[in-house]
């Protein structure tokens, strides 16, 4: 089964990644519930925008069937990383009149830094993609559905039940979490998880998730910053974040396939998402957002 690339998804995911970076570094959240709608809206935006990397992991798994010898693209990815990073350094030096040698070192030796943990995890599954696709294609429907059930229970359900991180999953960049989403995305492409393509059903789930987030922040006001946000409801690697990611992904696949077919062909949204993630991790970007472009929601 050949799956068409739904490039609306990386466009949305890249935009969410950039929005999350701005919210974490350049926006001071409302102080308390006295701000009402602004307070709730800000925290909903923080949670939803954190799902950008989840959507990227699902999308890579969804498109894994079309990947042939992905290791041949590594030099192109590295070149694009250098171009994006160099443009960021030039922009920072010109706009903010600032320069740091660390930024140039990072361009040439990204592996020497821990600034891109999600990219490292994605790279593992990106390279394993063709082998994983062929392996899962040999499974029966019953076996694939049993795997889906096991992943949802073990990775989504158990950490929520025990209220503690399991399998080493402490961030959405963890290789187990990324791998789980990658596999689920690929299984959707192979005809499983059909409930994700039911628009009305998923809209209800998304609405329920948003209501849960708003109710939680209203009942238990958050004192920490967006960068320190944690808990089963708020983190992108929790049960709420995981299920919201799946339902949003299904909605985007169904919507773009039915109503926006022209966005199934161009490749620029893929590079946009790649560049958005790289920009979000570069020190020069986060530093100047924190120190030069601080906004306050009052």
Question: 89-98, 183-192, 251-260: which has the minimum mean pLDDT?
Answer: 89-98
Question: 25-34, 142-151, 153-162: which has the minimum mean pLDDT?
Answer: 25-34
User: What's the pLDDT at 1?
Assistant: 47
User: What's the pLDDT at 153?
Assistant: 95
Please tell me which residue, 178 or 194, carries the higher pLDDT value.
178
Please tell me which residue, 245 or 292, carries the higher pLDDT value.
245
Total-model pTM: 0.88
pLDDT band at 259 (very low <50, low <70, confident <90, very high): low
Residue 4 contacts residue 265 (beta carbons within 8 Å): no
Instruction: Measure CA of the first residue to CA of the last residue in the chain; give whole Å.
Output: 52
Residues 251 and 249: their CA atoms lie apart, in Å, by: 5
User: What's the pLDDT at 260?
Assistant: 61
279 CB burial (10 A radius; 0-12, 13-18, 19+): buried
Residues 100 and 110: their CA atoms lie apart, in Å, by: 15
* Domain spans of the chain, in order of start: 23-296
Question: 54-58, 196-200, 234-238: which has the minimum mean pLDDT?
Answer: 196-200
Average pLDDT value over all residues in the chain: 82
pLDDT band at 248 (very low <50, low <70, confident <90, very high): very high
């Amino acid at each position: 089964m050949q799956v068409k690339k739904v490039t609306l998804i990386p466009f949305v995911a890249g935009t969410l990644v950039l929005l999350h970076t701005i919210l974490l570094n350049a926006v001071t959240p409302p102080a308390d519930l006295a701000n009402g709608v602004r307070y709730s809206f800000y925290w909903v935006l923080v949670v939803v925008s954190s799902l950008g990397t989840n959507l990227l992991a699902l999308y890579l798994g969804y498109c894994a069937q079309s990947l042939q010898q992905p290791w041949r693209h590594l030099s192109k990815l590295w070149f694009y990383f250098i171009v994006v990073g160099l443009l960021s350094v030039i922009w920072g030096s010109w706009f903010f009149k600032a320069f740091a040698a660390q930024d140039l070192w990072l361009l040439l030796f990204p592996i020497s830094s821990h600034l891109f943990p999600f990219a490292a995890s994605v790279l593992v599954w990106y390279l394993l993609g063709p082998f994983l696709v062929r392996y899962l294609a040999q499974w029966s429907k019953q076996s694939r559905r049993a795997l889906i059930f096991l992943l949802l229970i073990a990775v989504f359900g158990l950490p929520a039940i025990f209220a503690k991180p399991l399998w080493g999953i402490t961030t959405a960049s963890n290789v187990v979490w990324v791998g789980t989403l990658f596999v689920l995305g690929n299984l959707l492409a192979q005809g499983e998880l059909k409930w994700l393509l039911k628009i009305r059903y998923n809209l209800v789930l998304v609405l329920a998730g948003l209501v849960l987030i708003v109710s939680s922040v209203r009942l238990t006001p958050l004192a920490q910053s967006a960068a320190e946000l944690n808990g089963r409801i708020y983190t992108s690697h929790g049960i709420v974040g995981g299920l919201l990611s799946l339902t949003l992904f299904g909605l985007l696949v169904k919507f773009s396939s039915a109503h926006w077919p022209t966005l199934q062909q161009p490749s620029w949204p893929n590079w946009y998402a790649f560049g958005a993630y790289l920009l979000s991790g570069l020190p020069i970007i986060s530093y100047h957002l924190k120190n030069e472009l601080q906004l306050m929601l009052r």
